[in-house]
């Protein structure tokens, strides 16, 4: 059967040359190489579950009187969008399960991308020839953030409505074009009648299409360039060693896919997320406290909370305070990330193509920069929950904000220095171990015992 | 033994799928339906991975990296072909100029429809629905009479006929008479201790929803800006830099609270065109 299919394809496409190479493609076995795959499988799950949800969702901001099965809201004036999400959650079989799994998948999607990016950064996998994929990958992260935020905003509940109001204000704060940007995206002064349908089309068509396109490019480039690999016996700058695609790697990867799906469904089944019926519908004059966004927006929320209260008035124009923290900080953050491969090349004068990955300790300076940037984002995320922490630890909020304002400036420097010193120490020890006169390498034998192994060339 | 374990794992997945179908048909709880799907997917995934690890010969394969860069003759060939073609195009440089003119104009024209996405600013960014003499009503549309609010209380009000309007939302507070420090021109804006401020935060537009009556402070729950009610709602701390605009109030002959006017400045967060 398979044989006939392969022959039939080859008769018409001449595909056997490609197929032969493809089936023998080497995939290095290392846990950190699965992070990107987890993101890919999250995306597939999001498309599948999102399509299901789309059949039930009504992207309309029109006001309706709620008459559904959730009694606490009976008679309340809500938007058709909000009512349809409650109906799909409480009256459609598997509706709640799939909606919650979809939300969890979105959180894990962004997390997987972020951790994957850290792996790529700290091992120097972004170096030539893979700078293009670093840029494509970062674009994927931005698209994922956009898809996450628009999806979070769709149900038109009180929490997401507040988040939208903030996003609108941040867009509005951009000099020269802010008003046009905000009106263009929201369809008028907030809350405009068209906001719901614009969010919907952005969330279900525009961003997923871009994500799918960028992901295709990302994978095609990996396919062409082949995987990078960690140092090891038999691994050089001109080869890649790993499990063959067929059948070993394909099987493992498909298994991972089902495992990822299982985690999503498990979270959706047992862990409540975004219960919009208890948040209530969005009324512009209402707000909840404490209000927390999804985790990946936390750093932006934190930046807004810590941001300076400078409002510039120049020549009869205004540059409002959210601009500094809400626009400039993420702009600077992502510019640095986009440019990093080129910055590093400028500093190290290393324009060579790299197939072997660095250990994070191999390049202490890069590790220090990564750790500093990461600590900056993390401290901002915590600052985004400062009201919760103030309550939890009984610290006056104003003092906590002041502490965070100092931390966000000082901590990245401290963490960077610390990472630099640790990496140097680790590198020295690794080198000492490698250069040691008398070393004996033991390896596990097939029978389960240990035996002395001759020293491999590549490790010297 | 290992093969047996793999077979058992797949069997568990199969049973769980059947369990899910039954749970769906009987409309059992979300948790039970989810449990079925969770086990079906998880056991399937585990079985496949076990299969790959324990029932397949473990092998490593080595691929050489030789696809790039191309060898010198290919590079030179590509470059030469490209240059020859480009040269042929450039020989008719005046046609090129017209061509790029046309493409550029079309590109510019294609941007124009995007302007339709953004309606004109209109009055929305600058004015609210408050007008001279608007009666203050609550969210449910009931008007506010002067005797109805106790000192220390706060209520969200709107102009009559626009209850629930985002930009018109206003906080009506009653403070002990004499505590308000009004600057010149605002002396008659707060009759009998009633004072009203826009509820839209001047930082990022959240409703300023928390009131600490003991210290006359309004707190925005989004980014924790604090405004001083008795001092014209000037910001005390947090990222807001501008006071909440004040709505001038009056009491009519029947005892209803009314607005003297709209706010004297645009409410809410700043924007470029705001002077």
Query: What are the distances in angstroms from CA A218 to CA A31, A342, A352, B193?
Result: 20, 19, 21, 64
pLDDT tens across A63-100, in order?
Answer: 999 999 999 999 999 999 999 999 999 999 999 999 99
Asked whether the beta carbons of residue A251 and residue B167 sit closer than 8 angstroms, the reply is no
**Cβ atoms < 10 Å from Cβ of B76:** 11
A-chain residues within 8 Å CB-CB of B158?
285
Asked whether the beta carbons of residue A251 and residue B48 sit closer than 8 angstroms, the reply is yes
Q: A419 touching B, CB under 8 A?
A: no
Which residue does chain A place closest to B118, by CA atoms? A184
Query: What are the distances in angstroms from CA A414 to CA A257, A411, A417, A420?
Result: 39, 5, 5, 10
Which residue does chain B place closest to A180, by CA atoms? B118
User: B7-16 contacts: CB < 8 A, separation 24 or more?
Assistant: B9/B43, B9/B44, B9/B46, B9/B47, B9/B50, B10/B43, B10/B44, B10/B47, B12/B39, B12/B43, B13/B39, B13/B40, B13/B41, B13/B42, B13/B43, B13/B44, B13/B47, B14/B40, B16/B40, B16/B43
pLDDT tens across A118-136, in order?
Answer: 999 999 999 999 999 999 9
From the CA atom positions of chain B, what is the Rg in Å? Answer: 35
Angle CA A400–A375–A344, to nearest 5? 145
Asked whether the beta carbons of residue B59 and residue A248 sit closer than 8 angstroms, the reply is yes
Asked whether the beta carbons of residue A255 and residue B37 sit closer than 8 angstroms, the reply is no
Choose the weakest-confidence range: A428-442, B224-238, B258-272. Answer: A428-442
Position A460 scores a pLDDT of: 42
Which domains does chain A carry?
34-229+242-288 (1.20.810.10)
Q: A275 touching B, CB under 8 A?
A: no
Which residue does chain B place closest to A252, by CA atoms? B49
DSSP state string for B107-162: HHHHHHHHHTTS---TTTTT--S--TTPBEE-TTS-B-BTTSS-TT-EEEEEETT-
A-chain residues within 8 Å CB-CB of B205?
165-166, 168-169, 190
Asked whether the beta carbons of residue B67 and residue A224 sit closer than 8 angstroms, the reply is yes
Question: Residues near A262 by Cβ (< 8 Å), separated by ≥ 6?
Answer: B38, B39, B41, B42, B45
Of B51, B66, B205, the CB nearest to A168: B205
Which residue does chain A place closest to B62, by CA atoms? A241
**Helical (H) or strand (E) element with A41:** helix A34-54
Of B63, B238, B273, the CB nearest to A226: B63
Query: What are the distances in angstroms from CA A193 to CA A79, A98, A221, A249, B179?
Result: 11, 28, 42, 50, 42
Mean pLDDT of A193-213: 96
Asked whether the beta carbons of residue A169 and residue B203 sit closer than 8 angstroms, the reply is yes
CB pairs under 8 A between A and B: 267
Of A266, A286, A321, the CB nearest to B207: A286
Token code pair at residue A418: 């610390």
Give the end-to-end CA distance of chain A in Å, rounded to a whole number: 49
Chain A residues 207-266 with CB within 8 Å of chain B: 224-226, 234, 237-244, 247-248, 251-252, 254-263, 265-266
Position A442 scores a pLDDT of: 81
A382 pLDDT band, cuts 50/70/90, is: very high
pLDDT tens across B211-250, in order?
Answer: 999 999 999 999 999 999 999 999 999 999 999 999 999 9
Asked whether the beta carbons of residue A252 and residue B52 sit closer than 8 angstroms, the reply is yes
Which residue is listed with tokens 């020890």? Answer: A429
pLDDT tens across B166-207, in order?
Answer: 999 999 999 998 888 878 889 899 999 999 999 999 999 999
Question: Which DSSP letter does residue A129 get?
Answer: T
Longest dimension (CA), chain A: 82
Asked whether the beta carbons of residue A26 and residue B61 sit closer than 8 angstroms, the reply is yes
Of A259, A288, A308, the CB nearest to B46: A259
Of A180, A224, A269, the CB nearest to B38: A269
pLDDT tens across B72-113, in order?
Answer: 999 999 999 999 999 999 898 899 999 999 999 999 999 999
Does the pLDDT at position A254 exceed 50?
yes
Asked whether the beta carbons of residue B224 and residue A94 sit closer than 8 angstroms, the reply is no
Position A453 scores a pLDDT of: 74
Which residue does chain A place closest to B170, by CA atoms? A285
Query: What are the distances in angstroms from CA B242 to CA A352, B204, B269, B274, B275?
Result: 54, 11, 9, 13, 13
Integer Cα distance of B40 and B18 in angstroms: 9
Partner residues linked to B181 by β-bridges: none
pTM (2 d.p.): 0.95
Integer Cα distance of B263 and A335 in angstroms: 40
Position A456 scores a pLDDT of: 59
Of B125, B156, B242, the CB nearest to A285: B156
In the three-class reduction of DSSP (H, G, I as helix; E, B as strand; rest coil), residue B256 is classed as strand
Q: A83 touching B, CB under 8 A?
A: no
Which residue does chain B place closest to A384, by CA atoms? B223
Helices and strands in chain A, H and E counts:
18, 8
Position A13 scores a pLDDT of: 95
User: Greater confidence, A49 or B94?
Assistant: A49
Choose the weakest-confidence range: A33-37, A128-132, A220-224, B90-94. Answer: B90-94
Of A234, A285, A304, the CB nearest to B164: A285
Beta strand extents in chain B (DSSP E only): 61-64, 136-137, 154-159, 170-174, 194-198, 210-212, 217-219, 226-228, 234-237, 246-247, 249-251, 257-259
Mean pLDDT of A273-298: 92
pLDDT tens across B119-157, in order?
Answer: 988 888 899 999 999 999 999 999 999 989 999 999 999
Query: What are the distances in angstroms from CA B130 to CA A38, B136, B189, B200, B246?
Result: 53, 9, 15, 14, 12
Does the pLDDT at position A457 exceed 60?
no
Asked whether the beta carbons of residue A96 and residue B224 sit closer than 8 angstroms, the reply is no
B-chain residues within 8 Å CB-CB of A322?
203-204, 239, 269
Integer Cα distance of A341 and A127 in angstroms: 6
Q: What is the dihedral of CA B97, B103, B108, B109, to 10 degrees?
A: 130
B-chain residues within 8 Å CB-CB of A402?
none
Does the pLDDT at position A345 exceed 80?
yes
Instruction: Indicate which of B46, B164, B204, B268 best probes the interface with A, i.e. most A CBs within 10 Å of its own CB.
Output: B204
B-chain residues within 8 Å CB-CB of A309?
203, 225, 235, 238-241
Question: Which DSSP letter does residue B32 get?
Answer: H
Closest chain B C-alpha to A106 CA, distance in angstroms:
18
Which residue does chain B place closest to A316, by CA atoms? B275
Which residue is listed with tokens 């985790």? Answer: A295
A-chain residues within 8 Å CB-CB of B275?
313, 316-318
B-chain residues within 8 Å CB-CB of A96?
30
Q: A37 touching B, CB under 8 A?
A: no
Asked whether the beta carbons of residue B241 and residue A311 sit closer than 8 angstroms, the reply is yes
Question: Residues near B210 by Cβ (< 8 Å), separated by ≥ 6?
Answer: A289, B218, B219, B220, B221
Q: A271 touching B, CB under 8 A?
A: no
For chain A, percent of residues with pLDDT exceeding 70: 98
Check the CA dihedral A141-A146-A147-A149 and report its sign.
Answer: positive
Mean pLDDT of B268-272: 95
Of A169, A285, A316, the CB nearest to B275: A316
Closest chain B C-alpha to A370 CA, distance in angstroms:
28
Asked whether the beta carbons of residue A243 and residue B24 sit closer than 8 angstroms, the reply is no
Of A97, A234, A257, the CB nearest to B30: A97
> Quick check: bond before A247 cis, omega within 30?
yes
Of A179, A247, A269, the CB nearest to B56: A247
**Is residue A285 within 8 Å of A117, Cβ to Cβ?**
no
Of A255, A261, A401, the CB nearest to B48: A255
**Helical (H) or strand (E) element with A65:** strand A63-65
């Amino acid at each position: 059967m398979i044989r006939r299919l392969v022959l039939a394809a080859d008769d018409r496409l001449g595909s056997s040359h490609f197929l032969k190479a493809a089936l023998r493609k080497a995939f290095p076995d290392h846990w950190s190489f699965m992070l990107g795959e987890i993101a890919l499988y999250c995306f597939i799950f999001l498309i599948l579950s999102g399509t299901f949800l789309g059949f039930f969702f009504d992207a309309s901001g029109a006001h309706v009187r709620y008459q559904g099965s959730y009694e606490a809201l009976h008679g309340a004036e809500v938007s058709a969008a909000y009512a349809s999400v409650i109906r799909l959650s409480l009256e459609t079989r598997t509706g709640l399960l799939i909606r919650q799994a979809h939300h969890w998948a979105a959180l894990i999607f962004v997390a997987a991308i972020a951790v994957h990016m850290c792996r790529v950064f700290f091992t120097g996998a972004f170096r030539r020839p893979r700078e293009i994929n670093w840029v494509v990958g970062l674009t994927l992260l931005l698209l994922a953030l956009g898809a996450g935020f628009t999806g979070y905003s769709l149900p038109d509940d009180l929490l997401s409505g507040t988040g939208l109001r903030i996003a609108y204000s941040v867009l509005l704060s951009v000099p020269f074009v802010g008003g046009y940007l905000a009106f263009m995206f929201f369809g008028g002064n907030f809350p405009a009648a068209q906001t719901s349908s614009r969010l919907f089309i952005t969330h279900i068509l525009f961003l997923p299409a871009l994500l799918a396109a960028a992901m295709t490019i990302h994978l095609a480039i990996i396919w062409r360039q082949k995987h990078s690999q960690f140092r090891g016996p038999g691994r050089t700058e001109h080869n890649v060693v790993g499990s063959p695609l067929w059948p070993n790697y394909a099987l493992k990867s498909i298994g991972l896919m089902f495992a990822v799906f299982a985690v999503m469904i498990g979270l959706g089944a047992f862990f409540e997320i975004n219960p919009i019926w208890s948040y209530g519908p969005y009324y512009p004059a209402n707000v909840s406290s404490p209000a927390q966004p999804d985790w990946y927006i936390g750093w932006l929320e934190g930046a807004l909370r810590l941001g300076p209260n400078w409002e510039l008035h120049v020549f009869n124009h205004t540059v409002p305070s959210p601009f500094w923290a809400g626009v400039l900080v993420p702009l600077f953050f992502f510019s640095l990330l986009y440019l990093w491969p080129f910055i590093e090349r400028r500093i190290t004068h290393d324009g060579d193509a790299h197939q072997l990955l660095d250990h994070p300790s191999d390049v202490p300076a890069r590790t220090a920069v990564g750790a500093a940037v990461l600590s900056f984002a993390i401290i901002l995320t915590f600052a985004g929950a400062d009201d919760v922490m103030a309550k939890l630890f009984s610290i006056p909020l104003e003092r906590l904000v002041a502490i965070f304002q100092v931390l966000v400036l000082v901590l990245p420097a401290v963490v960077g220095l610390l990472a630099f010193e640790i990496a140097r120490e680790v590198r020295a020890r690794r080198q000492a171990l490698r250069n040691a006169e008398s070393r004996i390498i033991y390896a596990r034998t097939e029978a389960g015992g240990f035996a002395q192994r001759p020293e491999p060339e590549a490790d010297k | 033994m290992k093969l047996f374990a793999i077979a058992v794992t797949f069997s568990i997945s199969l049973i769980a799928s059947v369990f899910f179908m039954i749970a769906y048909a009987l409309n059992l709880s979300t948790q039970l339906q989810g449990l079925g799907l969770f086990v079906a997917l998880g056991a399937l995934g585990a079985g496949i991975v076990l299969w790959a690890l324990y029932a397949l010969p473990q092998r490593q394969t080595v691929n050489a990296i030789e696809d790039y860069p191309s060898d010198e003759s290919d590079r030179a060939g590509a470059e030469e072909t490209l240059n020859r073609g480009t040269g042929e195009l450039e020989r008719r440089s005046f046609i090129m100029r017209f061509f790029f003119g046309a493409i550029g104009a079309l590109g510019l024209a294609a941007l124009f429809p995007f302007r339709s996405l953004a309606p004109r600013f209109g009055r929305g960014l600058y004015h609210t629905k408050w007008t001279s003499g608007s009666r203050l009503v609550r969210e449910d549309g009931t008007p506010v009479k002067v005797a109805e609010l106790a000192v220390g209380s706060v209520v969200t009000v709107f102009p009559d006929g626009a209850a629930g309007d985002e930009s018109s939302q206003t906080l009506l507070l009653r403070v002990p008479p004499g505590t308000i420090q009004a600057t010149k021109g605002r002396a008659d804006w707060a009759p009998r201790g009633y004072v009203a401020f826009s509820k839209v935060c001047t930082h990022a537009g959240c409703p300023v929803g928390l009131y600490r009556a003991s210290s006359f402070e309004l707190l925005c729950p989004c980014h924790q800006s604090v405004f001083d009610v008795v001092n014209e709602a000037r910001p005390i701390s947090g990222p807001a830099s501008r006071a909440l605009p004040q709505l001038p109030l009056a009491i009519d002959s029947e005892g209803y609270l009314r607005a003297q006017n709209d706010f004297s400045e645009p409410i809410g967060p700043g924007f470029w065109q705001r002077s």
